[in-house]
Chains A and B, each alone.
Chain A
Amino acid sequence: MGLNWQFITDSLPLYREAAWTTLKLGFWGILISLIIGLVCSIILYFRVKVLKTIVKVYIELSRNTPLLIQLFFLYFGLTKVGISLSENTCAIIGLSFLGGSYMAEAFRSGLEAVSKSQIESGLSIGLSKTQLVRYVVLPQAFSVAVPSIGANCIFLLKETSIVGAIAVVDLMNVTKDLIGMYYQTFEALFMLVAVYFIMILPLSLLLTWLERKVRYAEFGN
């Protein structure tokens, strides 16, 4: 079963472009997820009234429904009630909606790991609440949360494989088209797997390394 290398080289630009799209969507999705997650976890941490309930409902909704349905709802459902979004915007909103709750959980576990004495010491040396969060709580929480944040980033980058279902020209769609049009099944699948490996393996290794680094930092305390 030899692969048709000519075909692979020819289709390289297509995959490169699709991978670029995936990375771009993934980047924005992860960035916005981080922001949503941070805000949500702080709201939960300080038990802000009303907002706390909204955040809880959001987290449950987002964690217990598949991304594909979220995307379909955004892309096909909302257009029909007057909200029209481009497929890339939908993909980013969908990823952020999903990722936000995962990031919130990651930050929350980090925040909960910060011991009470840290907060009390901070208050006793006269830090304001903002200063306390900014200089004492967040840095420590972040280092505890790093492994799960990293895992979430990989998770989100993998989830981008689904956005092809709403017409984003991503890796999956390119593959499907090549299989459909040229019948070069193995070549197309080979490229698909290769691209995902190239994108995610370094990230995964980086994460393992980072995790070990952070654990060393913990021992210092």
Chain B
Amino acid sequence: MQSLGISVLFKGMNMQRLLEGLLVTARIAFFSIIIGSLLGIALGVIWTSKSKWIRLICRIYLELFRIIPILVWLFIMYFGVTTALNIDLSGEVVSVIVFSLWGAAEMGDIVRGALESLPKHQVESGKAIGLGFWDLYRYVLIPQAVRRMLPGAINLATRMIKTTSLVVLIGVIDVIKVGQQIIENSRIEVPTASFWVYGSVFILYFIICYPLSKISRKLENKWNG
């Protein structure tokens, strides 16, 4: 019987497998966002330095990620760096490294923008009451900057989650790869499988990203308005 194509999603372990694939995707996104944010905050603080050279280096670092597509970076890391250093890195590790470095660059720019938008007297008053570098950032600057950078940071997280879809192209068994396997397996019984499988992966990504971009916009309106 020519069953409804959508049934392919619920046959056997298919749904469970798709979700397991999603877990790999989520794991990559999670680690990249955490590492990228931490590195990015550090980079952003360094970026506000008065030294021209430090600013230039930070700028070049960011521009490298803005000019060269992320997929190209994945290729460079996956094919180039592993060959050059003669090391063996799994696609998953490569993805986390590339996404973290990219996230750090973008996050650094967001943090820099937020810190620089703070009025100068905040730093000066902080120093006047005798705060050291750490206390100044910990109690004065970071709490204020967080408001200004959160919408952008959440937006960045959404972008990073969307970009995790690329990992399938360097051989990671993520949600898309599992989808392709399911399509291959059921090609004869359910010819329309690819429509339903890619359709549901599409919806899965939407379910994850939509709330995030909604929150980001809410915060932006609330804090800017």
Select which of A65, A186, A196 is within 8 A of B202 by beta carbon.
Answer: A65
Q: Does B14 contact A (CB under 8 A)?
A: no
Contact B80 A70 (CB under 8 A): no
Q: Does A27 contact B (CB under 8 A)?
A: no
A to B contact number (C-beta, < 8 Å):
114
Complex: chain B residue closest to A69, CB-CB: B202
With A165-B169, A189-B76, A193-B76 as given contacts, are A159 and B69 in contact (CB-CB < 8 Å)? Answer: yes
Contact A193 B72 (CB under 8 A): yes
Contact B79 A179 (CB under 8 A): yes
Task: Report the minimum CB–CB distance from B7 to chain A (whole Å).
Answer: 15
User: For the complex, what is the distance from the CA of A161 to the CA of B213, rounded to whole Å?
Assistant: 24
With A60-B210, A68-B166, A81-B195 as given contacts, are A73 and B202 in contact (CB-CB < 8 Å)? Answer: yes
With A61-B206, A172-B71 as given contacts, are A66 and B194 in contact (CB-CB < 8 Å)? Answer: no
Complex: chain A residue closest to B166, CB-CB: A68
Residues on A with C-beta less than 8 A from B210 are 60, 64
Q: Does B162 contact A (CB under 8 A)?
A: yes
Residues on B with C-beta less than 8 A from A78 are 195
With A64-B210, A73-B199, A73-B202 as given contacts, are A196 and B191 in contact (CB-CB < 8 Å)? Answer: no
With A161-B69, A161-B72 as given contacts, are A80 and B63 in contact (CB-CB < 8 Å)? Answer: no
Task: Report the minimum CB–CB distance from A212 to chain B (whole Å).
Answer: 16
Select which of A67, A179, A200 is within 8 A of B67 by beta carbon.
Answer: A200
Q: Does A119 contact B (CB under 8 A)?
A: no
Q: Does A63 contact B (CB under 8 A)?
A: yes
Select which of B63, B80, B169 is within 8 A of A204 by beta carbon.
Answer: B63
Contact A69 B79 (CB under 8 A): no
Residues on A with C-beta less than 8 A from B169 are 68, 162, 164-165, 172
Contact B166 A162 (CB under 8 A): yes
Complex: chain A residue closest to B197, CB-CB: A77
Residues on B with C-beta less than 8 A from A63 are 209, 213
Contact B80 A64 (CB under 8 A): no
Task: Report the minimum CB–CB distance from B93 to chain A (whole Å).
Answer: 18
Q: 1/0 contact trace for A116-133 toward B, CB 8 Å?
A: 000000000000000000
B interface, by DSSP: helix, strand, loop or mixed? Answer: helix
Contact B75 A189 (CB under 8 A): yes
Residues on A with C-beta less than 8 A from B84 are 1, 186
Contact B209 A64 (CB under 8 A): yes
User: For the complex, what is the distance from the CA of A165 to the CA of B165, rounded to whole Å?
Assistant: 11
Within 8 A of B (CB), among A44-97: 60-61, 63-70, 72-73, 76-81
With A69-B202, A179-B79 as given contacts, are A197 and B67 in contact (CB-CB < 8 Å)? Answer: yes
> How many residues on the B side are at the interface (Cβ–Cβ under 8 A)?
41
Within 8 A of A (CB), among B3-36: 5
Contact A196 B199 (CB under 8 A): no
Select which of A1, A67, A172, A179 is within 8 A of B72 by beta carbon.
Answer: A172
Q: 1/0 contact trace for A165-208 toward B, CB 8 Å?
A: 10000001001100100000110110011001100110010000
Q: Does B49 contact A (CB under 8 A)?
A: no
Contact A68 B68 (CB under 8 A): no
Contact B69 A66 (CB under 8 A): no
With A73-B199, A80-B195, A165-B169 as given contacts, are A68 and B176 in contact (CB-CB < 8 Å)? Answer: yes
Q: Does A158 contact B (CB under 8 A)?
A: yes
With A66-B165, A185-B79, A193-B76 as given contacts, are A77 and B71 in contact (CB-CB < 8 Å)? Answer: no
Complex: chain A residue closest to B203, CB-CB: A65
Q: Does A154 contact B (CB under 8 A)?
A: yes
Complex: chain A residue closest to B68, CB-CB: A196
User: For the complex, what is the distance from the CA of A78 to the CA of B196, rounded to whole Å?
Assistant: 10
Contact A80 B66 (CB under 8 A): no
Can you list 6 A-B contacts with CB-CB less than 8 angstroms, sorted by A residue number?
Answer: A1-B84, A60-B206, A64-B158, A64-B162, A69-B198, A76-B198
For the complex with contacts A186-B80, A197-B68, 15 further pairs of A-B residues with Cβ separation under 8 Å are A61-B206, A64-B158, A64-B209, A66-B164, A68-B166, A68-B169, A70-B202, A72-B201, A80-B194, A81-B195, A186-B84, A192-B75, A193-B76, A196-B72, A204-B66
